[in-house]
Structure 1
């Protein structure tokens, strides 16, 4: 039981049937669905512990759902798939570089906020180290693997959903107001930079 293995009881009951130990079934109090557990780990259903963000691009969502579905069974594999989902997300955001580190650099150059950059790099590094011998061991670390998926949802919220909401709000402005804003911005961008003073 300490090794989280399924095993048979040592004795027999009156019908000479040996009992299976450490394998349990449970009924959900909310949906009445059945779940099967080995020790403290749910092995059925593998429906995913972290739902994908509703605005997540389709290709990214497929990888995300797969990563979520194996989170309990293999945190290491889930983290590796989370890294792949991040790379797919970067491509969907217009990145052209092949390397994920360089793709994140592209987003930084476009004004990516520091906190989103830290989340992207965290998923990148932890997901990469999950499948390579190194300083990070996610063999039994479900919490870290789960947090990586939650970070991807947060990134989608910030880079996709919030951007879309702001654009939708901006389109509500009268066309004249938008034209005036664009003229103002053009003047600011074309204005010469004042020379620096030579004060010592």
Structure 2
């Protein structure tokens, strides 16, 4: 049996670190990096060689989530039916659990210039899908409303991972039906600062 080379082992270690970091910091964003190394079963030195600081690790986790969001939006844009594209995009983002990290880790690190650029791209792609679906939506639904709905789904979490996915899918189905119902919503839509307040202290 061929033993993995150093390159393969490094890739596996990095994957283990990121999976462990996601689990640890979702449970407690203030947890020490040592807890990540212990969960990943790698030495603390191996972790620091890849991520010199906790902030570097947090930044990587959130940037990976942002890249997943972009990939889901790009995939959905290929769907010819405007509602199937919009709904499929939201389901993909919820299933990937992108917003759990955003909610938990926002404000714990300083985003890079590339992250800010990717965030703008993510907003443009999501906005395009929203506008395509506009004829089948409530008249006053905006992108900020969709962001809050995704955060609502991310808040659903039980110990069983499979069951969490099922419950989130149920919630999203109800929310999608609500988006299509006629009539105006109460109160003004979410303001930009209401969505971004968690990042203001970084």
TM-score for the superposition, normalised by structure 1: 0.23
Bigger helix fraction: 2
Q: Which has the higher strand share?
A: 1
Q: Whose relative contact order is higher, 1 or 2, with alpha carbons under 8 Å and at least 6 apart?
A: 2
